[in-house]
Amino acid sequence: MSEFPLFVSFGEALTDLIRRDCTTWTSVPGGAPWNVARVMACFGVSSAFGGAISRDCFGDELWQSSESAGLDMRFLQRTSQSPLLAIVHETHPPKYFFVGDDSADLHFDVAALPSGWESRARWANFGCISLARQPLAGRLVELAERLHAKGVRISYDPNFRAVMDEGYDPVLKRMMAIADLVKVSEEDLRGLFRTADEEAGFTRLRAMAPNVPILYTRGGEGAALYVGERTWRAVPPDIEVVDTVGAGDCSLAGLLSSLLHFPDAGWDVHLRASVAAGTGACLAAGATPPSDELRERLAAGTQVSAG
């Protein structure tokens, strides 16, 4: 039996059903936590996705895509419940809703994970709608807290969705209390704090955990990394954007993989890797991770300043 992975991302794996025209729909495997896991594997980190999927054609596609990505399949569970679907009825800008009452993702069993994996894990990732869907949310937050207590570092990407109303506030507080790294976007801050002023939202977020590193992504403007009293800002090179789907997931994976591969590097190096990964994802359709060569080229063209 091979060693357990260094990185595990927990949450939902789902299928995006994308409306192409009046009669044509395309199914695409997705889900932010699942995306982060497979991108980490693509970036050379031993990785797994911890979640549950259905036993139908949609689950088959997710299973096969997970195998193709090189994920540790011991963490992926299958149940007889229906699949979790994201119905993307408009793409410019994206408009969607979720279909998943009592769906497979909600039946993920933490107790069924392989014995001994926690002693090998160095990072565990949590976020998106899995933390807003009960009873799964409660199980995942408890798992994150237990891992944190054992010394496993926790990354947290809220990845705001409309289902995260006031009832999500306690989850946000609990996750911020244990996170070792947080990733947010302007959209996340407006949604989580129910305000049009994302900078005010960011101030409130930082107040929850002043010393936790926060990656703040701003689309084409680049990103900033806040660590204690220090701030690093990165501006990516100009590119011809094909698709921004999965760019945030790739940015987070770029940062985490840099932290794992080069633990002694400076935060400027880690931020450069993050922005290069997110920028590279925008050069291809779908949540497509950029190659090592492309990431190196984009990193070289990314301007980083410290403040």
Question: What is the pLDDT, as a whole number, of residue 282?
Answer: 82
- In this model, does residue 147 exceed pLDDT 90? yes
Instruction: Give the whole-angstrom CA distance, residue 121 versus residue 132.
Output: 24
Question: What is the pLDDT, as a whole number, of residue 302?
Answer: 84
Question: What is the pLDDT, as a whole number, of residue 91?
Answer: 67
Helix axes 247-261, 32-42, angle to 10 degrees: 50
Structural contact between residues 40 and 13, judged by C-beta atoms closer than 8 angstroms = no
- In this model, does residue 1 exceed pLDDT 60? no
Per DSSP bridges, beta strands 223-227 and 123-127 are unpaired
- In this model, does residue 127 exceed pLDDT 90? yes
Q: Which domains does the chain have, with CATH numbers?
A: 1-113 (3.40.1190.20), 213-307 (3.40.1190.20)
Mean pLDDT of 169-178: 98
104's tokens:
């497979």
- State how far the alpha carbon of 144 is from the alpha carbons of 11, 110, 177, in Å: 11, 11, 11
152's tokens:
């496993």
CA angle at residue 205 from 100 to 33, to 5 degrees? Answer: 35
- In this model, does residue 172 exceed pLDDT 90? yes
Mean pLDDT of 233-243: 82
Q: How far is CA 126 from the centre of its chain?
A: 7
Mean pLDDT of 75-104: 88
Identity of residue 108: F
Mean pLDDT in the chain?
A: 92
**Maximum CA pair distance of the chain?**
54
Structural contact between residues 13 and 62, judged by C-beta atoms closer than 8 angstroms = yes
8-state DSSP, 218: -
pLDDT category at 92 given cuts 50, 70, 90 is: low
Question: What is the pLDDT, as a whole number, of residue 295?
Answer: 86
Question: What is the pLDDT, as a whole number, of residue 292?
Answer: 82
Count H helices and E strands in the chain, helices first.
9, 14
Mean pLDDT of 187-206: 95
pTM, two decimals, is 0.94
| Residue 206, burial from CB neighbour count under 10 angstroms (0-12, 13-18, 19+) | middle
Question: What is the pLDDT, as a whole number, of residue 281?
Answer: 82
Question: What is the pLDDT, as a whole number, of residue 57?
Answer: 95
Instruction: Give the whole-angstrom CA distance, residue 120 versus residue 229.
Output: 32
pLDDT digits (tens, 9 = 90+) for 30-65: 999 999 999 999 999 999 999 999 999 999 999 999
Closest CA relative to residue 299, chosen from 263, 266, 259, 272 = 272
Question: Which are the contacts of 226, defined by CB distance < 8 A and separation ≥ 6?
Answer: 206, 213, 214, 216
Mean pLDDT of 235-257: 86
Structural contact between residues 272 and 246, judged by C-beta atoms closer than 8 angstroms = no
